[in-house]
Each structure stands twice: as structure tokens, then as C-alpha cells.
Amino acid sequence: MSVTAPQGFEAAGVATGLKSTGALDVAIVVNRGPRKIGAAVFTTNRAKANPIIWSQQVIADRIVEAIVLNSGGANCFTGAFGFQTTHQTAEKAAELLQVSAGDVLVCSTGLIGTGDEVFRGRVLDGVERGVAALSADGGQDAAAAIMTTDTVAKTASVTRSGWTIGGMAKGAGMLAPGLATMLVVLTTDADLEAVEADAALRRATGVTFDRLDSDGCMSTNDQVTLLANGATGIRPDLDEFASALTEVCRELSQKLQQDAEGASHDITIVVTNAESEADAVEVGRSVARNNLFKAAIFGNDPNWGRVLAAIGTTDARFDPYDVDVSMNGVRVCSAGGPDRPREEVDLTPRATLVEIDLKTGDATATILTNDLTHDYVHENSAYAS
């Protein structure tokens, strides 16, 4: 049931014509519980969409009653008109829900640089019809309504010690980290203080969404939000809660990776024995963003030389002539030189594992990425058409 799996949450997804296909395109999630705790992390891109600018103001007091999301238009670089549209979206939801507009988050996703009176009217109509359609069974429709180039809706939930966490996510392109990526809404009926919710969210996103680097392109609209309502009255063990939240975020991250635009390989890069976790992340990300490496994987070519060339551009501490590289369980490089024959590596499965042993310490990190395909190039060359 996605975001409505925890007690005290309602959601809806409606179609307003923002998408030419007539698919669901406006979602709303409402907290009906006794507490209205909110936490969020946002893109660190300096080019921020109007909903991000608005939501960063709303989240300041960590009180959130509802969140409205639309697909079919990013409402980014649309000037004062666009910010007014976001403001009016929150005001419309607040009026219908009888809450403060300053407690309504707004998210948008779609094409950058477009927005007019028709767009505004459809979003506001979607809010009105979405509020009317709210139900405890509306989570799946909400998850479908935020899809853009996604091919499937992405949801997850876990239950622990009497409380539940639910979540929905969208994202298939422009997936690169910067505190958060894509649009994600997480909900819980556990009883948390605002500072605890914020800490758990940052802990979870730091090792999940922040380490999904599908195409190296950071969006202007990325936001991950956690709503907590205390409906169960249960105060969770904070470590257990953070672990469960991380589990949900990891599942959603993997679903985003598996639905990445045009991808034919889901690549997991595991960096081990680094001097620090920061070094491990930097090394893994350098490979994840290397187009030559990604093209090689698309061609089922275990070209480990491209891995070494990529990690050699980092500031991480290691000796490039003492690094081991394995692909799908075959060590193709040992101590910076050839090891097993490339012919032993089978890269035909979609799941691809690349392991990099830096031999300088005991830190590790995992980065998720995808290959670079003809389909990815085609899809993004025709995105606005």
C-alpha cells in the first residue's frame, strides 16, 4: 500500500491532462495522525525548481500536514509565475484540508522551462479532485501519478515492533546524488520527535539514494520527504527505526536503478579496503560516472583498464599499481596488472557486480549505477518531443 501502509495516512492519484497519455499525474499524501512531523532533504543543485524553494521554507519548522506532487511539468525556470503556481497549489490544498498553506509541501517533476495558465489550472484541478479522492487505499495511485519516464510505480514498506514505514519513489533519469535524488515520500506511524526523524532520514539517504548514481546528472527537483504521525503511540528504538528506514530507502533505490532509462545492466560497484568511507565513495562514483566504462559494460566487455583509469582521477589514497578488480566474481586485475582471462567473465546477465580492492584500509562503500546504451541516448534526445 505504499505511503498508506502506516496508520493515519491517506493518499490519492488523479489524472488532469498534464500527461498527453491521460495517465495519473497529480498525487497528494495527507497526514491524518495526531502528530505532524516532517523532515526532508533536497537537491544541492544551485538551479532549484520553484517547488524546492517553497518546500525548503515549509520544512523549516518541521511541521507538515500534506504533500502535493505533480508529474508532467517540473515548474523550474518558470519565473515568478511558476513560484506563484507552487504557492497557489499549497494554498488550494490548505483550503480544502483546512490547514495552513505553510504546512503543505509541493513537488513537481517533468520538463524544465515550461509552465503556463493551462499547467497551473490542471495542477489546481488535480489538488481539488485529489483531496476529494483521498483514502487509506490510495497509495498505489499516488505512486503511479508521480511517474514520468518510469515504466513501473515504485513502492516499499516494512513493519517493525508495532510500527510501519511506507514509501513511494519516482525516477528513471537524472539520477545522481546531492543529499537526495528523485522524488520520494516516506511515511511512518511511529512516534518520533522532529530532530529524530531528520537524523534518521539523513542517515538512511546517505547510504542509499545518495549512492545511486545512474547517469551522473543531478536534477533541479530532487526531494526526499519523511512524514511521521505517531498514530501507533509507539516510541521506536532509534537505531531500529533508522535501520528499517534505510531498508525501505535501499529497496526503493534498487527499484529506481532497475528502471533507469534505457539501461541493460544494473551495475553494483563495491569498493573495499579503502582508507576512509569518503575515499571508497569517491572511487566508486568515479567509475559509475565514467562513460567509457559504462559503454564497455553495455557491450559486455570486461574492460578493467577503464576502471583503473577512472579511479586514477580521484584524490583517494591508494596505489594504482596495487589494486585488484573483479567483475561478476572473476578477478580480471591483480596488483594493477592482468589476472584471469577476460573470456571468463560473463556480462550477459543484467545484474553486474564490479569489486575494487584498494588495499589501503578497512572502509567500504557501494555505488549503484547503470550502463550507457543507445536507448538512453535516444530517449533523452527526444524527451521534449
Q: Which residues pair with 14 in a beta bridge?
A: 26
Residue closest to 51 by CA, chosen among 120, 5, 154? 120
CB atoms within 10 A of CB 214: 31
First-to-last alpha carbon distance for the chain, in angstroms, is 34
Annotated catalytic residues are 181
For residue 71, how far is the Cα from the chain centroid?
15
Q: Dihedral of CA 292/297/298/300: which sign?
A: positive
**C-alpha cell, 215:** 547517469
Q: What is the dihedral of CA 143, 146, 148, 152, to 10 degrees?
A: 0
What is the DSSP secondary-structure string of 171-185? -SSS---SS--SEEE
Cβ atoms of 90 and 106 closer than 8 Å: yes
Cβ 359 vs Cβ 272: under 8 Å: no
Report CA 329 to chain centroid distance, whole Å: 28
- H or E element at residue 28: strand 26-31
DSSP label at residue 221: S
